[in-house]
Each structure stands twice: as C-alpha cells, then as structure tokens.
Structure 1
Amino acid sequence: MISQLSWKIGGQQGEGVESTDRIFSTALNRLGYYLYGYRHFSSRIKGGHTNNKIRISTKPIRAISDDLDILVAFDQESIDLNAGELRAGGVVVADAKFSPTIPEGIEARLFAVPITAIAEELGTSLMKNMVASGASWALLGLPLEVFNKAVEEEFGRKGPAVVEKNVQAVKRGAEFVLEQAGGPLEQFKLESADGKQKLFMIGNEALGLGAIAAGCRLMSAYPITPASEIMEYLIKKLPKFGGTVVQTEDEIAAATMAIGANYAGVRTMTASAGPGLSLMMESIGLSGMTETPLVIVDTQRGGPSTGLPTKQEQSDINALIYGTHGEIPKVVLAPSTIEECFYDMVEAFNVAEVYQVPVIVATDLQLSLGKQSCEPLDYGRIRIERGKLQTGELPEREPNKLFPRYEFSEDGISPRVLPGAMNGIHHVTGVEHDQEGKPSESADNRRKMMEKRMGKLDSLRITDAVKADAPHEAPDLVVVAMGSTGGTVDEARLRLAQEGMAINHVTVRQLHPFPSDLLEPHLRKAKKVVVLENNATGQLANLIKMNVGCHDKIESLLKYDGTPFLPSEIEKACREMR
C-alpha cells in the first residue's frame, strides 16, 4: 500500500476538466485524505489545453508532486504534454475515440476506454467526464458510493434524473476499466486516511471567509484573473451577513469606492491582480494621505501588461511597496498557506483601522487558485480592533474649531470619527493639510505631517512577520521564500536532510515595513542564503539586501516560466549551491 499518489486530468478548456477534478477531489476529501491541487489553464473561455493535478496523501502536504501516477486524457495533446511526468508503472486512462498512444520511452500502461461512446449511449457526450472519473477512481479500489455522493452534491440541483444518469456514467466507466485491468491496481492502493473532516478550499475562498470574519460587509471590485473567485465567493456569502458586492466599472472606481465606504465606517475591501493594482496606485496614495483604512488583495500573476494572466509569478513586490508616487505609510502582507490567508485578512482589517493606512495582502496564483486541504479554522482567535475610532459622544468644540482629525500625537495616529457625528466635523482632502484637515502649504506643517504619517508604522510587526523553521545553529543553507513556495521548500529540505545537509527555512510574511530585526539573525548564522522567488530580477532578494545586507551570502533561485517550483528543482539547486 502507498501513502500518497498523484492524479491528473487533461483536455481542452470547457470540456469538463474542472468539474471532473472538483468531484474527484471532493470525494477524496470526504474520505479524509490530504489534498494539494494545481490548475494549469489557458487565458480564454473555451479551447486550449488545460489540466488539473491533485496530490493525494495520508499526511499533510503543501507542494505539487514531481511525478505522476495516473493521467486521465480527453485528447492526444494531453498525453503528449503530460506523459513525461509519469513515473515508471504509471497509468494513462484515455478516450478510445482518438486512438490514444503513449510517447516512446514512457513506461506506462494505457487503458483506452470508450469514454465518449459510453456517455453518448447514456444520452449526452457531456457526461464523458463522469465516465473518465469512474474509470480512474475504480483503479484506486476506493468505495464507489463515496464518489456517487460527491456526484449527487454536484448535480443535485438539476434533479434526480440528471444525478442518476451521471451515477450510471461513473458505474459504466468503472466497470469497463476494471474488466480491462482485472480489478483495482495493487500499486495504487492507498493506505486508509484518518477520516477526519478537513476543509478543502482555494486561497481566494479563505481570503473571502477571512474578510467576512473580520467584519467586512462591502466589496467593491472589478473581475480579473486570478482574483475573481474572491468576488464570486463574497457575492454568495456577504448578503447572508447584511453585506453586498458591487462590481465597479474599473479598478480605479473599486479602490475609491472602498476608501469612501471605509471613511463612512463600513469595513470594505477590494481585490485585483497586477494590471488592476497599477490602476489603483493613485487611490492608494489618497488612502495614505487622508489616513483612511483600505484593504486590497493582490493576487500576483505573470506580467507585465496582460502577460500570463493564468500563470504563476511573484513579480509585484516592487510595485506593492514603491508603486505610489510620493511617500505614504503602507503595509504589505504575504500569507503562505490557506490558513494564513484566512487569519491574515482579519489582521489586515485590524491593522488598516488601528494605523489608518492602506494594507495590501499579496498572494500568488498558486496560493489563490490551488485547492488544498486545510485544518479547521479557530474562530476564537478572531478579534476586531478599530483603533482610535471615536464612537461615543464627542465634546463640544470651541467656536470656529473643527475636530482635530489629523492631530499630532505621540504615536503618530490621530483620532478618527465617522462623518455625521455631532462635534466631529472636519475637512478631508488629498492635498497636504493641517490637524483639522484644512489645506496647508506651510513648510513646518508639511514636515510635521510627513513625520507623523511615516513614523506610525515604525514598530509594526504582524503575527509571525518572519516565520522560521530553523533547527540548525550553523546551517549549510538558509532558504528564504514567500507565498505558496513554503511547502515545496520543506519537501526539498526533507530529502536533502537524508544526505546530511543542514537547511533552515525562513518565510517572509511582512514585506513592508520590512522586519529586518527578525530576519537578520537567521541570515547572519548561515554559510549561504538562497532566496527563492517566482520572478526574473530577484525582487525579494534585493529587498533583503537593501534592508539587512548579507550581500556576499545571498544567491537567488529564480523561476519565471509561469509554473510553480517543484521540490526536485529546489533540491537540485540547493545541492549545487551548497
């Protein structure tokens, strides 16, 4: 029996690949297995090769597998593009309709199943994805009733007749392949899972859920890959909590609407990707100048311009930190797990209100769209902090005196009041202003206001601003990373540890203000530092050099072809850099 297995389905976009993956993985989740998914798809509605890969394990996993055990193919292109991942003894389940062949040199067993023909016999070729699912599920020897339950959940809204047809499609696919194979394949027999209920979601769903838990009741946004799922999730969920989603005409409107709603006292967010973030820059500056809370999610993707809108990249770091003109206080967070996506959203809203600043939560495509298992969330950890928001009765002001909205204070944070509050009237403007918000070009006032704003984040450290797994006092290497790459680094470390290599792993979760004091001790004791990131110029490495130093120790491990790192790639690079 085996403890883990990798399964992939490929075909043309719009052919049912996504729904097949969803039902297959949902059924596995019901059995209690840990799952980690990767979705490769084209930047168009229909057509173009797409594939979904799922890693199945009896233990927690946070990385894509290097190899592949089972490939389900709807066309020859899917075999040609993905067969190279198949390990010796792997299996291809393909539609007999296109007379499938396995490329020369690939040691894999082919099951040509009349997937389309069976589906058409049952009434429609649309059910071929269920035939294929049943065939590959049967090879694992897992209980068919669990899969049928997932089918019922997927198609139940369409009525019992549709459910029954799809159940029959699953059954026919299973029967055909089992007859060919002579029963379930022993080499794919998985050990029993723990049976414990686990959450199974993409990072975007966790971000949306975290926003709701944080008290967000309005999202203003414009659809863009890979951020749209946050909007789609909240469209369904926010109305249940008295909130709503507004689809704006563009990202400029989305950001300014969010600023206006936050000014009025409603916790509001927006979300986008690189191109949308570019359009928001002036608004982010307005948030900083007016000291109005603002929460933005940036789901990084391949750039520049339209770039690779459906592919992995971590190249917005410089834009996130330095994109706005002028200088404002700003916070940039980078969650690295599904759980952190949830908890970091709560912290983002709290930081935005307590410090009265824009907060950007930066994910990447793999973390945003890669579906994976997640331990139950602890809602008892949720705390809502609104900082210096004045909600009680305000004292009367002296004649001709307004509320000191931008009052100079020891910590740089001024009292805040909601519009319409008695005795709370004040000016709000994007130009430089005095303590009451009135425009001012006084050199002395300008200096004091800049120092007030820029100084209020000096001591900010979010929860686990730098997350370290550092068991070695004098490591051969320290690998520094961010975002979705953490699990991949850890898997490579485990393999290298068997060769006697001592490697510490540090994840930077607060990109700005940069937590130099927390990162420096880890770098100083390392012989060499490897900074791993999905971009071409080493933006995280340059950030570390600027804030910490250690130039002579730092080497970059970069990948910018649109695909996530594999454990084997990190393993090979670390071995060479040792």
Structure 2
Amino acid sequence: MTIDFTFKIGGEAGQGLQSIGYALSKAFAKGGLYVFLNQDYESRIRGGHTFVQVRVRNEPVYTLSEEVNMLIALNKETIDLHKNELVKGGAIIFDGEKIPIKAEDNYYSVPLEKLALEKGGSKIMINTVATGAAMGMLNYDFNLLTDVLYEEFGRKGKDVVESNVKAARAGYDYSKENYRGKYDFTIRSLGSSKRMFLNGGEAIATGAIVAGCKFMAGYPMTPTSPILEFFASKARDYNLVFVQSEDELAAINMVIGAGYAGVRAMTATAGDGFALMVEGLGQAGMTETPIVAVVGQRPGPAVGLPTRTSQADLLFMIRAGNDEFPRAVFTPGTIEDAFWLTIKAFNIAEKYQIPVIILIDQHLADSFRTVDRFDLSKVKIERGEMLSEEQIRAMGLYNYKRHQFTESGVSPRAIPGTPGCLVVTDADEHNEEGHIIEDAETRTKMVLKRLRKFEGVKKEMEPPKIYGPEDAKITLIGWGSTYGAIREAVDILRKDGMDVSMLYINVVWPFPKDEVSSALSKAEMSFVVENNATGQLACLIKSETGKEVNGKILKFDGRPFSPMHIVKEVKERVRG
C-alpha cells in the first residue's frame, strides 16, 4: 500500500510544536519510512501562529505537500486557519475541554491537558500527549516512539524520561481506545532503519567537520544560527575552535586570519549579515586567502522577514565586492548536496586560494529529511599546492614569494612560521613577494594572475543535473531548495501526459553556460522556478548564454514552493 501522509501541528510559539514534529518524524524514520519536516514560524519567542509539517512516505520524499491528512491543533486559531487544507477523511486532534468549538465528524477531542497533568505531572507534557494521540490514531508501533523519547530525554534523567513515556502512552491509549473504529487509516513500520534524520544546516556543519574545518566564527542570524550551534556543540569531540564574534565584520576577518595561517575556516550568516562581510570578501580575494562562507537567504531588504525563505541574493553573491576577483558559489538543494558540496567548497577554496560561498535559504536550512548515511570512504581532502619545509629550503633562504606568477594563477602556498620563509601579503595591490606596489605593469599582471584561477575552477565543476528525459519538450530550471518541489512536479506532470524534465543547477558560479545553453536548445518551452520577484536565475541565464527562457514561475511571499503550485502554473502557461 502506498503511504503518503502529512501531519500539520499548529499553535503558538512556545507550545512545543517542534518537539511533536521531531518526535513523530524520528519514530516513523525508525520504522523504515521516509520523512520530510518543514517549519513555519514567526520572529518571536512566544505567541503568534506557528506550525510544523511532517510528511511520511514509503518511498523517498524531497518536499512538502499541500494536502493535510491530520491536523494536530493546540489552539483554536490552528483549526480556523488550516481546517480547509484537510483531505477528505482527514482528522483534527484537539483538546475539546480547552478549545470551545463545535465538533464535526472528523474532529477528535483528546483531553491533552488533563492527561498531561495526570500522567506526566505537568502541563508542559501536552505536546508529548498529543504525539502519543497521533500515533494511537494511526495504530503505529508505540515502542518506536518510546525509543525516541529515551533518546531525546535520557540525558535529563530517568524521571523525566518515564514521565514523557507515561504522557505519550496516555494519549496513545486514549485515541486508540476511543477512535480507532471511527478512524481507520493505519501506518505500519516497514522494518528498522539506520537512515539519518537531519536538516540542511546540520548537513553543512557536518560536511565542514568531515572536510577538516577547524575554526569557525560567526554572529548568530536566522537561518544559519543552527550551523554555528552544531559546530560549537562538537568542538570538544573534534578539537574545533568556535568564536561567537561581536559582529559579522569581525567574524569574516577572524576566518581570513585562520585561513592565512593554514587552517580550514568558515563563517555562516544571513544575506543582510553578509552585506557587512563584503569588505572582508574582497580582502580574501586580494590576499588569495581560502575561506568558506555560508549565506542563508531570507526575505529582505534589511531585516525583512527573518524567519522566512527567499532566493533573492543570487546575483548579490556572484557580484559582491569591489572590482573583479574569482570566487565560486554553490547552491545545494538537498541534504546530500549540502554535505558533499561543503566538502568540495573547502577543497576548491584551498586548491585555488579563493573565497567559496555556499548559498542556501531558510527552507533548506531548517527542513529535516531522512537520508542514507554518507559514504565517508568517498571523502577526499585536496589542499592544493602546499609547500613542505624541504621544498622551501630548496628555494634558498627567504626566497619564497607568496604571490608568485604562475601559468595557472595559483601560487605555491606556505604556512606562516615555516622556517626559512616569510609569508607576506596585503589588501593593497602587491608584487609577488606580497609588498605594496603602485606601478601599472605589476597591477595588470596581478589582476590577470588572479583571474586565471577561474579557468581551473571551471574544470572542477560537475554539470547541472537533469531529472527526466534530456530531450523533453518542457524544461523546468531551478537552483537551491526548489529541487524537491520541482522534482515532484515533474513526476506529477509526466503522469498527466506532459513531456517535461528538470534542469537543476547546484553550482551557479562558475555558471555552466554550455550545459544550460544545450538544454534550452533542446526544449520547446522552458521555465525558471525561483523564490524571488525578478527571476534572477533567468537574468543570469540570459547574460551568460544570450538565451531567454519562455517564462518565470516566481514566489516571493517568504514561503517555499509546493509541487502543486508549480504544476498549476505550468499547466496554465502551456495551455494558456
């Protein structure tokens, strides 16, 4: 039997909605099912309307669904806002003793607060009772939820764990005993699974650690704060150094200092935080210092909607900084991409001594997904041309030139403090030794030297991914977190008889103009799908290939695309 079931858990910030969503997700993942979790929350600690959505399938899932099968409402506002999203036969779980509302056939009242007090000993256990109630409605294996609760609360002591298990059991038994005859949808375990369940931010932080990143500095900003937190939490285990800087400018300068000293280093910020880092980005470009910067997009300008999603910083990342210098901009769209492209970012940064930007958004950063364990045997660490002490001695005492002219543009790199050499550089224009100059000839040679590196970077990039037939009549083009929604939209449209495929770009700079140009030449119609108002990818395609797409499917309200949104837009435009 095909399983495609979506929970929506709604209430106010501070009611433990994320805990419900996470516990449900982990329990289903343990049972061999595939899970996708996304969050919608306001920029406030308490109050306001917040929801978490969990989609469960028996096959891989990459995105959210507009259709809701079960609504877990911790307040009346959630019912009012989301009851019309329920599919036919969908269920609403709520506390009828606390939410005065006229119950209909699909309303299932569970005394959440009463059971939390009686079995858990505190109102704080309402979310745990609600989790158990949802599991009971579906007749899912309670032991899997018990395992999750022990994992999550074990560090808080035996009493806390047992209180949560009792509260969950009370909700489970109540809904199962009272409603199983009325609500018959069942989700069964498919067997044990060792898949990971993590979000994009955790995947990036994990990738950085695996890549050998030893230093990170940052100032907390949504949506990249979890990257800082995850890295910091692993500092003792992996001998890492994390600094919460006083501001973004300090953060990038610390990272540049670490990179100069030979340490793999990274910072993470939001788009408006990166605006403060741009001077530092140029310094990394001029001094040819390898750094990695993660930039999480959110709607702007300025602070904008700090907890929502956006893809409006694409052109900013490609052009940020004064004058011209090489860089790479990666745009992962999946958890797997986030991990592997982070490792590649460090390799490219060091091999070519350039800044590399990993451009994500709130939707990718905060959304969780079940993924297979990463095969660490495939990890390769490439540090580029790093000189040994023997090689430096062979040059002669203090003959090392940090910015030596080479055919590739990449100068041999020495670590400061290595006996027999001075590693001199400057943010002013400089000569091969790194000392400031003013003459036109050296300036010209240095600019061309730096730019030559870009040719090597281009050769390192993999082509865009195609999902569906390469010769499809309709091509949907996306980048970043739109991957999952476009992919599923392609599946739906093809089932409906439309000849469509997806071209997915996870490296936007260097831009893969040959591959994109070829794909556009094969398609009769092409559409970009982007979370911005002006179609920035479409602009980039035109400037790099000279070709225009047929249309733009744009969304800039701070919310992510759903597959059905894309399906509707494509059908209207193709038939219109």
The bucket for the TM-score relative to the shorter chain is over 0.9
Over residues 37-70 of structure 1, what are the superposed CA-to-partner deviations in whole Å (9 max), with x where a residue is unaligned? 1101111122211111000011001010120000
Query: Would the alpha carbon gap of residues 367 and 244 (structure 1) be closer, same or farther in structure 2, given more than 3 Å must change?
Result: same
Amino acid at match of 2:568: K
Partners of 1:560 and 1:82 lie apart in 2 by 21
Q: Which residue of 2 aligns with 1:567?
A: 563
Aligned match for 1:308, one of 302, 305, 327: 305
Instruction: Map 1:50-65 onto structure 2 (within 5 A).
Output: 50-65=50-65
Q: Which residue of 1 aligns with 2:358?
A: 361
Query: Would the alpha carbon gap of residues 472 and 140 (structure 1) be closer, same or farther in structure 2, given more than 3 Å must change?
Result: same
Q: Which residue of 2 aligns with 1:555?
A: 551
Q: Which residue of 2 aligns with 1:26?
A: 26
Paired residue secondary structure (1:349): helix
Amino acid at match of 2:240: G
State the Cα distance separating 1:179 from its structure 2 match: 3.0
Instruction: Map 1:126-165 onto structure 2 (within 5 A).
Output: 126-165=124-163
Over residues 380-429 of structure 1, what are the superposed CA-to-partner deviations in whole Å (9 max), with x where a residue is unaligned? 11111111121232136668x64211111111111111111123214211
Partners of 1:468 and 1:277 lie apart in 2 by 31
Partners of 1:108 and 1:479 lie apart in 2 by 41
Over residues 146-177 of structure 1, what are the superposed CA-to-partner deviations in whole Å (9 max), with x where a residue is unaligned? 11121122221222222222111112112222
Partners of 2:99 and 2:405 lie apart in 1 by 76
Contact preservation (8 Å) 2:414, 2:423: no
Q: Which residue of 2 aligns with 1:334?
A: 331
Partners of 2:32 and 2:461 lie apart in 1 by 30
Unaligned runs of 5+ in 2: none
Partners of 1:77 and 1:464 lie apart in 2 by 47
Unaligned runs of 5+ in 1: none
Over residues 321-350 of structure 1, what are the superposed CA-to-partner deviations in whole Å (9 max), with x where a residue is unaligned? 112111111110111110111111110000
Paired residue secondary structure (1:457): helix
Q: Which residue of 1 aligns with 2:466?
A: 468
Paired residue secondary structure (2:97): helix
Partners of 1:315 and 1:162 lie apart in 2 by 44
Partners of 2:208 and 2:29 lie apart in 1 by 25
Partners of 1:287 and 1:182 lie apart in 2 by 62
Amino acid at match of 2:172: A
Amino acid at match of 1:162: V
Fraction of identical pairs, as percent: 38
Partners of 2:12 and 2:144 lie apart in 1 by 27
Contact preservation (8 Å) 1:530, 1:554: yes
CA RMSD of aligned residues (A): 1.7
Q: Which residue of 2 aligns with 1:220?
A: 217
Contact preservation (8 Å) 1:397, 1:423: no
Partners of 1:396 and 1:179 lie apart in 2 by 81
Contact preservation (8 Å) 1:220, 1:245: yes
Contact preservation (8 Å) 2:74, 2:94: yes
Contact preservation (8 Å) 1:138, 1:184: no
Query: Would the alpha carbon gap of residues 140 and 463 (structure 1) be closer, same or farther in structure 2, given more than 3 Å must change?
Result: farther
Paired residue secondary structure (1:19): helix
Partners of 1:377 and 1:398 lie apart in 2 by 45
Q: Which residue of 2 aligns with 1:248?
A: 245
Amino acid at match of 1:160: K
Query: Would the alpha carbon gap of residues 434 and 130 (structure 1) be closer, same or farther in structure 2, given more than 3 Å must change?
Result: same
State the Cα distance separating 1:183 from its structure 2 match: 4.4
Q: Which residue of 2 aligns with 1:317?
A: 314
Over residues 191-247 of structure 1, what are the superposed CA-to-partner deviations in whole Å (9 max), with x where a residue is unaligned? 542533211000111101100110011111111111011111111113212112111
Amino acid at match of 1:521: S
Query: Would the alpha carbon gap of residues 129 and 526 (structure 1) be closer, same or farther in structure 2, given more than 3 Å must change?
Result: same
Paired residue secondary structure (2:454): coil
Paired residue secondary structure (1:537): coil
Q: In the alignment, does 2:573 pair up with 1:577?
A: yes
Q: In the alignment, does 2:78 pair up with 1:81?
A: no
Instruction: Map 1:514-553 onto structure 2 (within 5 A).
Output: 514-551=511-548, 553=549
Partners of 2:372 and 2:399 lie apart in 1 by 50
Paired residue secondary structure (1:417): coil
Amino acid at match of 1:444: E
Contact preservation (8 Å) 2:8, 2:70: yes
Partners of 1:564 and 1:161 lie apart in 2 by 40
Q: Which residue of 1 aligns with 2:91?
A: 91
Aligned match for 1:266, one of 257, 263, 270: 263
Partners of 2:470 and 2:426 lie apart in 1 by 52
Partners of 2:354 and 2:97 lie apart in 1 by 59
Paired residue secondary structure (1:209): helix
Amino acid at match of 2:483: G
Partners of 1:5 and 1:272 lie apart in 2 by 34
Amino acid at match of 2:312: S
Aligned match for 1:403, one of 391, 400, 403: 400
State the Cα distance separating 1:465 from its structure 2 match: 3.9
Instruction: Map 1:95-494 onto structure 2 (within 5 A).
Output: 95-101=95-101, 109-122=106-119, 123-183=121-181, 185-186=183-184, 188-190=185-187, 192-193=189-190, 195-393=192-390, 394-395=392-393, 402-461=399-458, 462-473=460-471, 475-494=472-491
Over residues 259-302 of structure 1, what are the superposed CA-to-partner deviations in whole Å (9 max), with x where a residue is unaligned? 10111111111111111111110000000000000101111111
Contact preservation (8 Å) 1:221, 1:248: yes
Q: Which residue of 2 aligns with 1:71?
A: 71
TM superposition score normalised by structure 2: 0.96
Quick check: 62-71 or 386-395, which moved more? 386-395
Quick check: 147-156 or 63-72, which moved more? 147-156
Partners of 1:126 and 1:304 lie apart in 2 by 38
Partners of 1:305 and 1:516 lie apart in 2 by 32
Paired residue secondary structure (2:393): coil
Q: Which residue of 1 aligns with 2:11?
A: 11
